[in-house]
Homo-oligomer: A and B are copies of this chain.
């Protein structure tokens, strides 16, 4: 029971065999992405006649790649059989790497999460040891999962910073040699490996099973420690020439003289991001502001999670004030992008999505003020639905869609 034979396209196969293979691919893709379906529907969808589709569905059943899920109800007439992908036929692996933790998820062929390990303790550092440790964690997860490696179609690893997914290069982390990072990891985990920018993977998660319904043009704002963006355009991920699209945080907007992580000054990220929030709160506390957080003797030790909990659990006024300011700044910048992109949907995601109640209103107000009316009317706002699972889920869908040649 393996579909790999469908995807070794050796050179000298005759045209007719190629067409059969392609149609089979189409059927597998349709059943994986679109879910269960009947022969008459698949016939319409693919443009091939019912006997042809029937024959191939028979072969796929024989091969164990799909299952017959029995007759389904209709409004009238003989009831058709519904066929769907065998959940056990293949799997997708998603890995989200943050500064302090790794989250790994395994998805079955029918897009169900079969295993997820959240927040495995890990320290992301830009050295070989850290990379080796990451591979060890992934290998341990796969071994524990009891899914044979050859059934795992591929793994997608999400990292922050500049990622060229097409070539497999990461420039901000683990750029030690001329070989693509994806190949280095691939040889260590023995599973086809892709790498992806974290914001983009989160975006793809929300797009496939999050808040995105039918929207084709979407901006996903990832406010976590840094500030990133993922873009859905023409109904698919937008990469740009080399995959550096969405570098949202480093717009030169402020004269604040604060040095950004990118090396420049006055970036949007210095005013709108997790670390900006932490810095601002600490500054205010040091200059005597009171807050739920004031009870901390050591101001230095305060971290974002504590600030978020102060907002969510205690409606901390100081933090809410800072968040509202941040929302206004974000909204003003988003207004420009909205004018350029004319999106249908803007999603607030990332760690700070937890406090989006306080961000969203100022964002929307600023956006309304600074963007063109007609363009602004098209935009809806939503908060991420998948939360901190968006990354892994998205990564699994990226593997799936790369496998099917859609990305």
**Residues A93-129 near B (CB distance < 8 A):** none
> Which of A238, A245, A340, A342 has most B Cβ within 10 Å?
A340
Q: Are B15 and A47 in contact (CB under 8 A)?
A: yes
Q: Are A217 and B241 in contact (CB under 8 A)?
A: yes
A238-B247 contact, Cβ under 8 Å, with A335-B252, A340-B337, A374-B171: no
A337 to B246 CA separation, bound complex (whole angstroms):
9
User: Does A372 interact with chain B (Cβ within 8 Å)?
Assistant: yes
**Residues A234-257 near B (CB distance < 8 A):** 234, 236, 238-248, 250-253
Task: Return A369 CB to nearest CB of chain B, in Å.
Answer: 8
User: Does A378 interact with chain B (Cβ within 8 Å)?
Assistant: yes
User: Does A229 interact with chain B (Cβ within 8 Å)?
Assistant: yes
Query: B216, B231, B242: which contacts A241 (Cβ < 8 A)?
Result: B216
> Which of A217, A251, A371 has most B Cβ within 10 Å?
A251
> Which of A19, A341, A375 has most B Cβ within 10 Å?
A341
User: Does A400 interact with chain B (Cβ within 8 Å)?
Assistant: no
User: Does A262 interact with chain B (Cβ within 8 Å)?
Assistant: yes
0/1 interface trace, chain A 340-362, chain B, CB 8 Å (1 if under): 11111000000000000000000
**A-side binding surface: helix, strand, loop or mixed?**
loop
User: Does A339 interact with chain B (Cβ within 8 Å)?
Assistant: yes
Nearest opposing residue in chain B for A44, CB measure? B15
Query: B49, B215, B240: which contacts A341 (Cβ < 8 A)?
Result: B240
A303 to B233 CA separation, bound complex (whole angstroms):
40
User: Does A282 interact with chain B (Cβ within 8 Å)?
Assistant: no
A15 to B48 CA separation, bound complex (whole angstroms):
8
User: Does A336 interact with chain B (Cβ within 8 Å)?
Assistant: yes
Q: Are B245 and A342 in contact (CB under 8 A)?
A: yes
A336-B241 contact, Cβ under 8 Å, with A47-B19, A372-B247: no
**Residues A154-210 near B (CB distance < 8 A):** 162, 171
> Which of A49, A229, A245, A248 has most B Cβ within 10 Å?
A245
Q: Are B378 and A252 in contact (CB under 8 A)?
A: no
Set of chain B residues within 8 Å of A162, measured between Cβ atoms:
372, 374-375
A250 to B49 CA separation, bound complex (whole angstroms):
53
Query: B217, B238, B251: which contacts A240 (Cβ < 8 A)?
Result: B217
Set of chain B residues within 8 Å of A243, measured between Cβ atoms:
342
Q: Are A49 and B340 in contact (CB under 8 A)?
A: no
Query: B216, B238, B374, B378: which contacts A234 (Cβ < 8 A)?
Result: B238
Set of chain B residues within 8 Å of A337, measured between Cβ atoms:
340
**Residues A257-287 near B (CB distance < 8 A):** 262, 264
Task: Return A255 CB to nearest CB of chain B, in Å.
Answer: 13
Query: B233, B245, B344: which contacts A238 (Cβ < 8 A)?
Result: B233
A252-B340 contact, Cβ under 8 Å, with A19-B47, A216-B241, A234-B234: no
Task: Return A213 CB to nearest CB of chain B, in Å.
Answer: 13
A250-B342 contact, Cβ under 8 Å, with A234-B234, A241-B216, A374-B171: no
* A-B contacts, 7 listed (Cβ < 8 Å): A162-B372, A216-B241, A244-B339, A245-B342, A251-B339, A252-B332, A262-B372
Q: Which A residues are closer than 8 A to B by beta carbons?
A: 15, 18-19, 47, 49, 162, 171, 215-217, 229, 231, 233-234, 236, 238-248, 250-253, 262, 264, 332, 335-337, 339-344, 369-372, 374-375, 378
Apart from A242-B378, A243-B342: 8 A-B pairs, beta carbons within 8 A: A15-B47, A231-B340, A244-B339, A245-B341, A245-B342, A251-B335, A264-B370, A337-B340
